[in-house]
Structure 1
Amino acid sequence: MGVDLGTQSVRALAVTDDGRVLGRGSAPLTGHREGDRHEQQPADWWRGAADAIRRTLNALSASAPPARGHARVRGLAVCGTSGTVLLTDARGVPLTPALMYDDGRAGAEARHAQETGADVWDALGLRIQPSWALAKLLWLIGAGARNARGGLDGARVCHQPDFITGRLVGRPVPTDSSHALKTGYDLHTRSWPTAVHDRLGLSGLDFPAVVAPGTPLGTVCAEAAADTGLAEGTPVIAGMTDGCAAQLGSGAWEVGRWNTVLGTTLVLKGVTATPLRDPAGVLYNHRSPDGHWLPGGASSVGAGALTHAFPGADLARLDRLAADREPASVVAYPLVSRGERFPFLAPDAEPFTLGRPTDEADRYAALLQGVALAERLCLAYVRFLGAPIEGPVTFTGGATRSGYWNQLRADILGRPAALPEQADSALGMAVLAAHAVTGDDAARRMVRIRTILEPRPEAGRRFVGPFVALVDALERRGWLPSETATYAREHG
């Protein structure tokens, strides 16, 4: 079973060894947004997770009732949003709300953390950002020092999945190295940077032990069994961030394979034998359960631009119209919000369009094409850094519901695209749980590829000009470094 703690819901999935989904369940989540702040209450995560798991088990029982309860669940792993963090007491009881992955209030703290630990972060190829858990911890202890309780010394650092796995096991448990990355964990030495913590004033916090994804954390306790319906004694496995979980669920798990998750925004993740060094710090490396490295980055372009530009529109109809506009008469850079994070860092970047669209179809086509052109630039950047790209690029995310867009993206990338039957973070966690329990390559058996799209060379050639125009425009604005732009024009 895999459990995915999202922003708006908790999702759970029960999957067989050969990838058949036997049960699924979900429960809604709500939070509080105000300006750049986004908080959720950890107690809501537990209620949502318990509901989603119970609904999944009900579906599982309906499909093939086990002989005794729900003992067929052989293992469970949990993923969550990257950078979401809170503080708890020694027993795991929350002392603060959870600051969510996109909470941006810790801008000053991020700059302070970056400057204070620059020697360490430069060596690791990291750039501390306001959305990272390390910056949020600085904000939390600052707020704690100002409140009536007089501070948070001795509080325990807790990432989003840690809270759920701790409740499942019945005690605080180690965190996984994937979620620990944005808290400053050194994946190379496998240790917390305690010297930097001292300089930042974080040494009074209790940072958890860190284990590799796929490590057994314990088993479901009696109280959690009563809440969820899981059998007491079910193994609980250390998970990964939702982005890494989605990559595992896509089947892109061998060196040279890459996965793009296109939803509201675009996330690119791949597999390399060694860490990918990025002087700009816009790409960071997770560690996979098998010892390989998972470099990746998140762009701010994505399908959210379509939702904003065409709210409530019949997108299937617009897809048909866009098929006659290859290429569109204009070139668009469809940022979903201000600022870009990958494949370059430009906090002041804004969406733009080169030219004026002739009509609705032209504007829509330009947005579809603009996302694909940005995706092509992302792949060019990882090649620029020396990463291998082999085999099909796997497409996952909500945007894959558009068959037209899938083919367009394959054409613009000039690479085959693999589309899995089922690809989401919950599946990735089910795969990881199976890998931990059986010790074999579960991804090969559990991830089913629905189809492979071959790029159409004649269609791809039509987008060489728009791609160069986009690269030129990004360079002129001072956002895309000249060295990267030159490589992209010549080899992208």
Structure 2
Amino acid sequence: MSDALTADAVHLGLDLGTQSARAVAVDGTGRLLAAASRPLTGHRDGPRHEQDPEQWWSALAGAAREALTGIDPARVRGLAVDATSGTVLLADERGTPLTPGLMYDDGRARAYTSRVNTAGAKVWQELGYRTMQPSWALPKLLWLLDNTDFPDARLLHQADLITWRLAGRPTATDASHALKTGYHLIEERWPERELAALGIPPFLLPDVVRPGTVIGTVCGTAATATGIPPGTPIVAGMTDGCAAQIGAGALTPGAWNSVLGTTLVFKGVSPHLVRDPGGVVYCHRGPGGTWLPGGASSSGAGAIARRFPGADLAALTAGAAATGSTAVAYPLAGAGGERFPFRAPDATPFVLGDVSGDAEEFHALLLGVACVERLCFDYLDHIGAPVDGPLTLTGGGARNSYWSQLRADVLGRDVTLPEHAESATGMAVLAATASGATLEEAAAAMVRLREERAPDPARTARLLPVYLDFVDELTRRGWLDRSVAAHARRKAEQ
């Protein structure tokens, strides 16, 4: 495998998130050599959430240039790109964007989901998620086709625009990003009959390859813009949640990674395809014949950003830790609507218990995220996904030490915090496979652990009734199925 997993090799991970574009340079032993980011801005209008695709390229190019400053170009072995799941646009034959990027949580295509789910019912059932949600890529593609007039356009997922620019030519998309556009992961093909019934011509869709496939090399023009050496292999990436899972080293059956960013994203490993009767869990293909079940909540740290914009979070955390409050808030990142661990378009934030002052309200949001997280794992267990393996916590929220301990206490299980686990790091690990290493070998060599947290049994016992009251309230409001609530209660009593 050459020198891929030695200190001489450098692997580049590129990540397009919601708020920033990030680049990291990691050597083959997992040492972070450099990292850089550039902000991204978007526009929200009701259910709509758009970004300018040209900003994705300029931001990522700037981050890459900074991250590679001072690194010998001869050391760079490869790169991979991740992006948000379900973010799409239309582009012309030169790869120039014709539309804004419709973001992962854009809900404008709600009126199209019935058509999508009728036409694709058999395939979606076979793939385990049963139905598509309005924010998925395929309903948004139908909206784009109905509301624009670009007869020769082609669909690009967010990462596809970047890989096209890097290679200087069209590139295949990866099966991970193609999932929410309806790609048949079992048969590894586009479901032509179902897509034709929706009026989607075959030429609109990109070719698809498995993540880890080399899909091109960096061209001279892109090398000038990004600082990435020309000829660097471009490896097909994955969506941001899967990328973070790789960065956390969660690749064995039963292992899970919980990513706490703007929203909560869960990715695990299963030896079998997990089919969800509720249609809120979906599976990516994993390495070595495994499946990667997961789900994305609409709850998370975004609730804190909405309520406490620009606040001193360290001071709020210190105040929250001193309150001893057990009030709990339902921490929706947006104005309303939940997608995992249950689907409730009408869900809105609420608070159980009395809160007095910012510190107690802040603590209620921290505790609310922890309760949603536990409910997600109870739901996964309820539908037969293995959840008894190691659990890693990543994302921006994992940098808050008090919050990580609170999450371990509510979960009642040990958690591990990797040293540099993030989506960009996961892409650096995947990029190492371009030099001959397997993904498992690369993760073993490059993923470093920072610390472990064990739950406090006394605090777990104190918080379990709070969690169960939270579950009961979700059930009372008609959002959570009673069978799921009963399973959560049985788990708590074990």
Aligned residue number for residue 7 of structure 2: none
Indicate conservation of the 8 Å contact 1:392/1:415, yes or no.
Answer: no
Aligned residue number for residue 425 of structure 2: 427
Relative to structure 1, the CA distance from residue 30 to residue 467 in structure 2 (aligned partners, 3 Å threshold; closer, same or farther) is closer
Structure 2, unpaired ranges of 5+: 1-11
Aligned residue number for residue 202 of structure 1: 200
Aligned residue number for residue 347 of structure 2: 349
Indicate conservation of the 8 Å contact 2:83/2:240, yes or no.
Answer: yes
Aligned residue number for residue 447 of structure 1: 447
AA paired with 2:376? C
Deviations 1:156-194 (A, max 9, x none): 221111111112112101100000001011111111111
CA RMSD of superposed structures (Å): 1.8
Q: Does 1:393 align with 2:391?
A: yes
Structure 2 counterpart of 1:332, from 329, 333, 339: 329
The 3-state SS of whatever aligns with 2:314 is helix
Q: How does 1:302-341 map to 2 (within 5 A)?
A: 302-326=300-324, 328=326, 330-337=327-334, 338-341=336-339
Relative to structure 1, the CA distance from residue 350 to residue 32 in structure 2 (aligned partners, 3 Å threshold; closer, same or farther) is closer
Structure 1 stretches of at least 4 aligned residues deviating more than 4 Å after TM superposition: 324-327
Aligned residue number for residue 122 of structure 1: 125
Residues of 2 paired with 1:44 and 1:355: CA distance? Answer: 43
Relative to structure 1, the CA distance from residue 404 to residue 41 in structure 2 (aligned partners, 3 Å threshold; closer, same or farther) is closer
Distance apart, 1:299 and its partner CA: 1.3
Residues of 1 paired with 2:368 and 2:321: CA distance? Answer: 14
Aligned residue number for residue 147 of structure 1: none
Aligned residue number for residue 8 of structure 2: none
Distance apart, 1:103 and its partner CA: 2.0
Distance apart, 1:421 and its partner CA: 1.1
Q: Does 1:362 align with 2:360?
A: yes
Residues of 2 paired with 1:27 and 1:361: CA distance? Answer: 31
The 3-state SS of whatever aligns with 2:165 is helix
Q: Does 1:37 align with 2:35?
A: no
Residues of 1 paired with 2:364 and 2:223: CA distance? Answer: 51
| Aligned-pair identity (%) | 56
Distance apart, 1:205 and its partner CA: 4.3
- Greater mean alpha carbon deviation, residues 219-228 or residues 135-144: 219-228
Distance apart, 1:273 and its partner CA: 1.0
Q: Does 1:52 align with 2:63?
A: yes
Aligned residue number for residue 169 of structure 1: 167
Residues of 2 paired with 1:305 and 1:46: CA distance? Answer: 28
Relative to structure 1, the CA distance from residue 464 to residue 30 in structure 2 (aligned partners, 3 Å threshold; closer, same or farther) is closer
Relative to structure 1, the CA distance from residue 306 to residue 50 in structure 2 (aligned partners, 3 Å threshold; closer, same or farther) is closer
Relative to structure 1, the CA distance from residue 205 to residue 99 in structure 2 (aligned partners, 3 Å threshold; closer, same or farther) is farther
Q: Does 1:6 align with 2:17?
A: yes
- Greater mean alpha carbon deviation, residues 176-185 or residues 353-362: 353-362
Q: How does 1:261-340 map to 2 (within 5 A)?
A: 261-326=259-324, 328=326, 330-337=327-334, 338-340=336-338
Indicate conservation of the 8 Å contact 2:254/2:390, yes or no.
Answer: no
Indicate conservation of the 8 Å contact 1:10/1:52, yes or no.
Answer: yes
Distance apart, 1:326 and its partner CA: 4.4
AA paired with 2:245? Q
Residues of 2 paired with 1:316 and 1:366: CA distance? Answer: 16
AA paired with 1:435? T
Deviations 1:306-325 (A, max 9, x none): 33334444433333343344
Aligned residue number for residue 469 of structure 2: 469
Indicate conservation of the 8 Å contact 2:245/2:251, yes or no.
Answer: yes
Aligned residue number for residue 102 of structure 1: 105
Q: How does 1:82-231 map to 2 (within 5 A)?
A: 82-126=85-129, 127-144=131-148, 151-203=149-201, 205-231=203-229
Structure 1, unpaired ranges of 5+: 145-150
Residues of 2 paired with 1:460 and 1:29: CA distance? Answer: 39
Distance apart, 1:74 and its partner CA: 0.2
Relative to structure 1, the CA distance from residue 362 to residue 444 in structure 2 (aligned partners, 3 Å threshold; closer, same or farther) is same
Relative to structure 1, the CA distance from residue 304 to residue 274 in structure 2 (aligned partners, 3 Å threshold; closer, same or farther) is same
- Greater mean alpha carbon deviation, residues 395-404 or residues 424-433: 395-404
Relative to structure 1, the CA distance from residue 42 to residue 333 in structure 2 (aligned partners, 3 Å threshold; closer, same or farther) is closer
Q: Does 1:459 align with 2:459?
A: yes
AA paired with 1:6? G
AA paired with 2:87? T
Relative to structure 1, the CA distance from residue 477 to residue 238 in structure 2 (aligned partners, 3 Å threshold; closer, same or farther) is same
AA paired with 1:47? S
The 3-state SS of whatever aligns with 2:76 is coil
AA paired with 1:457? P
Residues of 2 paired with 1:31 and 1:321: CA distance? Answer: 32
- Greater mean alpha carbon deviation, residues 210-219 or residues 356-365: 356-365
Residues of 2 paired with 1:17 and 1:414: CA distance? Answer: 35
The 3-state SS of whatever aligns with 1:383 is helix
Residues of 2 paired with 1:321 and 1:446: CA distance? Answer: 37
The 3-state SS of whatever aligns with 1:140 is helix
Distance apart, 1:305 and its partner CA: 2.3
Relative to structure 1, the CA distance from residue 404 to residue 32 in structure 2 (aligned partners, 3 Å threshold; closer, same or farther) is closer
Distance apart, 1:438 and its partner CA: 2.9
Q: Does 1:74 align with 2:77?
A: yes
Aligned pair count?
477
Aligned residue number for residue 479 of structure 2: 479
Residues of 1 paired with 2:360 and 2:64: CA distance? Answer: 45
Distance apart, 1:384 and its partner CA: 1.0
AA paired with 2:139? A
Indicate conservation of the 8 Å contact 2:255/2:389, yes or no.
Answer: yes
Residues of 2 paired with 1:397 and 1:84: CA distance? Answer: 20
- Greater mean alpha carbon deviation, residues 463-472 or residues 360-369: 360-369
Residues of 2 paired with 1:326 and 1:276: CA distance? Answer: 39
Indicate conservation of the 8 Å contact 1:153/1:205, yes or no.
Answer: no
Residues of 1 paired with 2:387 and 2:163: CA distance? Answer: 35
The 3-state SS of whatever aligns with 1:77 is strand
Distance apart, 1:446 and its partner CA: 0.9
Residues of 1 paired with 2:384 and 2:52: CA distance? Answer: 42
AA paired with 1:94? P
Residues of 2 paired with 1:221 and 1:194: CA distance? Answer: 33
Residues of 2 paired with 1:321 and 1:157: CA distance? Answer: 48
TM-score under structure 1 normalisation? 0.92
Relative to structure 1, the CA distance from residue 117 to residue 433 in structure 2 (aligned partners, 3 Å threshold; closer, same or farther) is same
The 3-state SS of whatever aligns with 1:382 is helix
Deviations 1:48-69 (A, max 9, x none): 22222111111x43xxxx3xxx
Residues of 2 paired with 1:153 and 1:387: CA distance? Answer: 43
Distance apart, 1:27 and its partner CA: 2.6
Indicate conservation of the 8 Å contact 2:253/2:389, yes or no.
Answer: no
Distance apart, 1:251 and its partner CA: 1.6
The 3-state SS of whatever aligns with 1:434 is helix
- Greater mean alpha carbon deviation, residues 220-229 or residues 303-312: 303-312
The 3-state SS of whatever aligns with 1:471 is helix
TM-score under structure 2 normalisation? 0.92
